[in-house]
Structure 1
Amino acid sequence: MELYSNIIGEGKPFLILHGFLGMGDNWKTLGKRFSENGYEVHLIDQRNHGRSAHTSAFSYELMAEDLKEYCDQHNLKDIVLLGHSMGGKTAMKFACQYPELMGKLIVADIAPKYYAPHHQTILEGLTMLSNAELTSRGEADEKLEEYIKEWGVRQFLLKNLYWKEKGKLALRMNLEALKENINEIGQALTSEETFSGSSLFINGGNSNYIKAEDKSLIKEHFPNSVVLTIKGVGHWLHAEKPDEFYEAVIEFINKS
């Protein structure tokens, strides 16, 4: 499957995978900063998200295969691979399945364990938006506020809005397929999947996605890994403290 991407800069390949209901564009500011350090940054839309193809099939197995195809098409190897949340799950899967293409792995605020579905309210709000006759982003924000109180989360979700035609807003993601496959989002790595390459897990101090007891599981799958906590941030750690996140990643990937 052809994946849409925005490529910034030149140098060593650095691929970034967004989280559930996001898109590569969410990482534009940080991507530009990484590119200034001699990296060719690929901001990728995963299947059923952003401008990449919509399909009824959806799983981490498929998303790892999509990424392998992408690397083959662009002749990429020895890659730096960074994934946040759902993107982190894809990145872990990819690193375990295609270690020959990997340089370093960075996983933002997700563990290799199973997570129960917990996006129901967000999906209800987006379903309401997709059925509404929207004429402005302000109107969409007002309607979405009935479901999601956090302004920052709404702004993140509303980035998916685009003008489908004059006077008509629509959502870029394949909402039906994502709702249909919601149980896939929380899937764990299988017990035999491991990656022995250099790996960094960054979690938010206020987030409960990576708990103290998950660290031993991370080590089982990723024996050459370090877990780093950024204090005072939640699940969107890269958006809340971009400077700290950037420094942590750069320090890790620049180490020989």
Structure 2
Amino acid sequence: MLLNVTERGPEMPANNRPPVVFLHGLFGRGRNFGFFQRSLSTTWRTLALDLRNHGDSPHGPMDYPTLAADVRETLAAHNALPAIVIGHSMGGKTAMMLALTSPNDVHALMIADIAPGEGGLAHTQDIAEGLIRLPMPATLDLSGADKWLSQVIKDKSVRDLMAQNLELGDHPCWRIGLSEIHDALKAIVDWPAIPEGVRYDGPTLFVAGSESDYIRPVNYPEMRRLFPHYRLDVIEGAGHWLHAQKPRKFLTIIETFINSV
């Protein structure tokens, strides 16, 4: 499946620099990384993808091998391989799967607040279940959307994120493939068993929020098995949405990493 792509970059990109690719988390979209694209695009070619069932990309069944295959097909169509791949949450698991299944296509890997294993994203199950059952109003504006979503989502920042996925007006509807996401939640929260001997030997950086428990010491052995050269950086005072909560620190980490590889 070819995905929707937002591309930014210099008029004359350096031929020896791989493109930087951003993969968003569940219920997000590529434009969530706009600040980072604008900041890097004076010197780096950048691509932010809408994963399937998100943003302006097509809908369909989803699991991590499928999501990774979509990303590879799309980047190949844009002549953007190999790439430095940066993924947050669900996008991070997708990036890891891409690196493990197509290692030659990933120049370097940066994973934001998710580990290779079951877990993380569990709170989204309740959100998806609630939204599926919530009757869509006949008309909806932005303030009405916030009130409507508050029946299911208590966190204002998460409601703001979800509101971006609504088509507002007299005939409101979801832009995202909500039913497909709902059906795939077990696979999204889970992580496929990776056979012994399969690993990614390229540069790998995991970035965790100090207030998040999505990357824990129990995950370190599997991180080392699959990504033997990984490093771990922690952003103090950040939770799971570390790139939104500490954008300048996250940008500094990106710039240091991509310039080092």
Amino acid across the alignment from 1:202: V
Aligned residue pairs total 252
Structure 1 residue 167 corresponds to structure 2 residue 173:
no
TM-score, normalization by structure 2? 0.91
Amino acid across the alignment from 1:71: L
Structure 1 vs Structure 2 CA RMSD: 1.6
User: For residues 138 and 228 of structure 2, what CA distance do their matches in structure 1 show?
Assistant: 51
CA deviation profile, 1:103-125 (whole Å, cap 9, x unmatched): 11000000001127432331134
Matched residue, 1:252 = 257
User: For residues 187 and 31 of structure 1, what CA distance do their matches in structure 2 show?
Assistant: 29
Confirm or deny: 8 A CA contact 1:121 1:148 kept in the other structure.
Answer: no
Structure 1 residue 45 corresponds to structure 2 residue 47:
no
Confirm or deny: 8 A CA contact 2:20 2:45 kept in the other structure.
Answer: yes
User: For residues 70 and 140 of structure 1, what CA distance do their matches in structure 2 show?
Assistant: 32
Alignment of 1:1-256 (within 5 A): 1-10=1-10, 11=13, 12-36=18-42, 38-55=43-60, 57-115=61-119, 117-128=122-133, 131-163=136-168, 167-192=170-195, 193-256=198-261
User: For residues 74 and 156 of structure 2, what CA distance do their matches in structure 1 show?
Assistant: 34
Amino acid across the alignment from 1:25: R
Superposed displacement of residue 189, structure 1: 4.3
User: For residues 18 and 128 of structure 1, what CA distance do their matches in structure 2 show?
Assistant: 25
User: For residues 161 and 79 of structure 1, what CA distance do their matches in structure 2 show?
Assistant: 31
Amino acid across the alignment from 1:28: G
What is the DSSP-based 3-state SS (H/G/I as helix, E as strand, rest coil) of the residue aligned with 1:142? helix
User: For residues 189 and 122 of structure 1, what CA distance do their matches in structure 2 show?
Assistant: 23
Confirm or deny: 8 A CA contact 1:109 1:209 kept in the other structure.
Answer: yes
CA deviation profile, 1:112-161 (whole Å, cap 9, x unmatched): 01127432331134325563323211111012112222111111111112
Amino acid across the alignment from 2:62: F
CA deviation profile, 1:155-211 (whole Å, cap 9, x unmatched): 111111224xx5222221101111111111022243333101000000110001001
User: For residues 92 and 153 of structure 2, what CA distance do their matches in structure 1 show?
Assistant: 24
Confirm or deny: 8 A CA contact 1:76 1:101 kept in the other structure.
Answer: no
Amino acid across the alignment from 2:116: P
Amino acid across the alignment from 2:25: G
Gaps of 5+ in 1: none
- Runs of 4+ off more than 3 Å: none
Structure 1 residues 102-111 or 118-127, which shifts more?
118-127
Amino acid across the alignment from 1:67: V
Amino acid across the alignment from 1:184: A
Amino acid across the alignment from 1:9: G
Confirm or deny: 8 A CA contact 1:93 1:189 kept in the other structure.
Answer: no
Structure 1 residues 139-148 or 229-238, which shifts more?
139-148
Amino acid across the alignment from 1:39: W
Closer, same or farther: CA 111–208 of 1 in aligned 2, 3 Å: same
TM-score, normalization by structure 1? 0.93
CA deviation profile, 1:76-99 (whole Å, cap 9, x unmatched): 223110000000000000011111
What is the DSSP-based 3-state SS (H/G/I as helix, E as strand, rest coil) of the residue aligned with 1:188? coil
User: For residues 115 and 134 of structure 1, what CA distance do their matches in structure 2 show?
Assistant: 36
Confirm or deny: 8 A CA contact 2:9 2:41 kept in the other structure.
Answer: yes
Quote the sequence identity (%): 33
